[in-house]
Amino acid sequence: MTLGRDKLEEALEALGEVLQARGLVYEIVAVGGSSLLLLGFVTRPTRDLDALALVVEGEYVSARPLPHPFTDAIASVGRAFGLSEEWLNPGPTDLLGFGLPRGFRERVDARRYGGLTVLLAGRVDQVCLKLYATVDQGMQSKHAADLRALQPTPDELVLAARWARTHDPSEGFKQSLLHTLEALGMEDPDDLV
Amino acid sequence: MTSFSDQLHDNSLELAWSLWAEMGVSGWQRHHTSHAIDPELLLLFTAGLGDADPRLREESTDWSVTYGRYVSGTRLRNLLKAQRPEVQSAFGEIAATVSAHSPVRWPRRTQERRFERTGRSVVESFERPSLIVLRLRAFLGVGARAEMVGSFIAEPSQKFTAADLAAETAYTKRNVAEALEALRMAGLVRAAHLRNQFQYRLASPEVLTCLPGEMPQTFPRWRPIFRILDALVGAAERAEYLNATTRRVEASDVLHTLAPDLHALGLHSPLADRSDGGSWAAFESWALATSSAWALGQHDAAWRA
């Protein structure tokens, strides 16, 4: 089953209440399509909510593996609401190892649901992550559609492109990046990136 | 208005009382005259009910003092391993109390409770259909052999491996294998080699007609039934402190955990076909109907798949 915004909000509220009832508290950083849905930038339904990081004592740490009591609660809510048992998962958490855009933490949008706090990556950071994913998956991908929906300015695309290069400094990636920027309407991106 | 939790408790107590009355305890209602009773599982279920009904506790202890020699300590030990700590603890007191008033020595005895014999538990013989298990033990002795025969009576056309019967009867595979070999030597069962193990079946259904007394109409799978009741009562108690959303998750969780037991009884999850994941009201309604059917011994209740 896919998650529209209402269903996603309902599932997160349920998860927060279940965590609270079980005496548990967790904080995660969310990115990707579902986080854009919650921020109101896109309307397309998604399949899951991507946890980029777990916040432990104020530090962003890898979300893989999520703690067992947390995955148990996620699975419980998933079953009760007809979702996958892994509807909230640490899919993109490896990105954390390469570093996040500067100022990422100051731009997050915090949403509280009982025992769960979800820090939604800010708009500029979503542009960075979506540009990186678009270079990898192509202009026909859902990431490209999400990136367009974010309506990035040329300056934001330049910032995102420079960050993406820190993840993959190879020449091959640079060429794909330049093609992507051109496809997004930038003129002479080679001079800027 | 009586709460969901109270109603489930009442159904559980009604079931326990009816089964104990069948066993010879002084009681008003007997709804299970044609249902084979499992004494060890009933003892543990009763222990799990705690002090909800002191008279039930006293009278079942009184029965145990008189007839405890027909109860299998080995089965109790094996079955206790899978019980909640609260049940183990409550049983420990019952076992100690029975031990203090009789030569019966059950495992996991702890501290005896104050107890005075009432002497009201009387059963003239084990010829009642519901007492087939006790009848077999009186005839064959308390041990794996009587349990094996009971399993073959319950499903006369079924073939069993030693592993099947060990899981069914809560005896060790070694005990079961020895008992099956003895029954084979006696000509009661036949063994056929299947891959790397033996399958056993009754040599002929006629061999059971020599047993005295009437046969029960049904051999309920008490283990999943008691487990389901215990889990439903637990969920109902927890739900009193939960809101609508978390109750929905609780219902879904309990049914997920109970899936193997529901399957064993041929029951479907009441929330399985609901696209919205199900509601607490549907769960409550199903739980009360199912527990009531079991408590009243209704013939169309799910006794076994």
Full pLDDT tens readout for chain B, 305 residues: 689 999 999 999 999 999 999 999 988 889 999 999 999 999 999 999 999 899 999 999 999 999 999 999 999 999 999 999 999 999 999 999 999 999 999 999 999 999 999 988 899 999 999 999 999 999 999 999 999 999 999 999 999 999 999 999 999 999 999 999 999 999 999 999 988 899 999 998 887 777 888 999 999 999 999 999 999 999 999 999 999 999 999 999 999 999 999 999 999 988 876 655 568 999 999 999 999 999 999 988 999 88
- Whether A29 contacts A108, CB under 8 Å: yes
Which residue of B237, B242, B249, B254 to mutate against A (max A Cβ within 10 Å)?
A: B249
- For B252, the closest of A13, A21, A76 (CB atoms) is A76
Judging by beta carbons within 10 Å of its beta carbon (0-12, 13-18, 19+), is residue A147 exposed, middle or buried?
A: buried
Collapsing DSSP states into helix, strand and coil, what is residue A49?
strand
Residue B148 CA to residue B179 CA, distance in Å, equals: 7
DSSP A80-138: HTT--TTSEE-TTGGGGGG-PPTTHHHH-EEEEETTEEEEEPPHHHHHHHHHHHHHHH-
pLDDT digits (tens, 9 = 90+) for B225-255: 999 999 999 999 999 999 999 999 999 999 9
Residue A55: beta bridge partners? Answer: A60
What is the distance in angstroms between the Cα of A118 and the nearest Cα belonging to chain B? 19
User: Is the bond preceding A65 in cis, omega lying within 30 degrees of 0?
Assistant: yes
What Rg do the C-alpha atoms of chain A give, in angstroms?
Answer: 17
- Say how many CB pairs under 8 Å bridge A and B: 34
The CA distance from A127 to A151, in Å, is 9
Q: Given the DSSP bridges, would you call strands A109-113 and A26-31 parallel, antiparallel or unpaired?
A: unpaired
pLDDT at B76: 98
Query: Which of B241, B242, B252 is facing A80, going by the closest CB pair?
Result: B252
Name chain A contacts of B275, Cβ cutoff 8 Å: 82
Domain range summary for chain B, segments of one domain joined by +: 4-101, 129-210, 222-295
- pLDDT by 10s per residue, chain A, length 193: 789 999 999 999 999 999 999 999 999 999 999 999 999 999 999 999 999 999 999 999 999 999 999 999 999 999 999 999 999 999 999 999 989 999 999 999 999 999 999 999 999 999 999 999 999 999 999 999 999 999 999 999 999 999 999 999 999 999 999 999 999 999 888 877 7
A140 Cα to chain B: minimum distance (Å)? 32
**Calpha distance B68→B76 (Å, rounded):** 12
- Statement: B129-210 belongs to CATH 1.10.10.10: yes
User: Residue B82: in which H helix or E strand, if any?
Assistant: none
ipTM (interface predicted TM):
0.84
pLDDT at B274: 64
Q: Please list every residue in chain A whose beta carbon sits closer than 8 Å to the beta carbon of residue B248.
A: 14, 80
pLDDT number for residue B277: 54
DSSP secondary structure string for all residues of B247-300: HHHHHHHHHHHTHHHHHHTTPPPTTTT-TT---HHHHHHHHHHHHHHHHTT-TT
Q: Give dist(CA B226, CA B295) in Å, integer.
A: 11
Residue of B nearest to A21 (CA): B242
Name the pTM for this structure. Answer: 0.89
Does A173 contact chain B (CB < 8 Å)?
no
Structure tokens at B226: 């008691």
Contacts with B251 from chain A: Cβ below 8 Å: 80
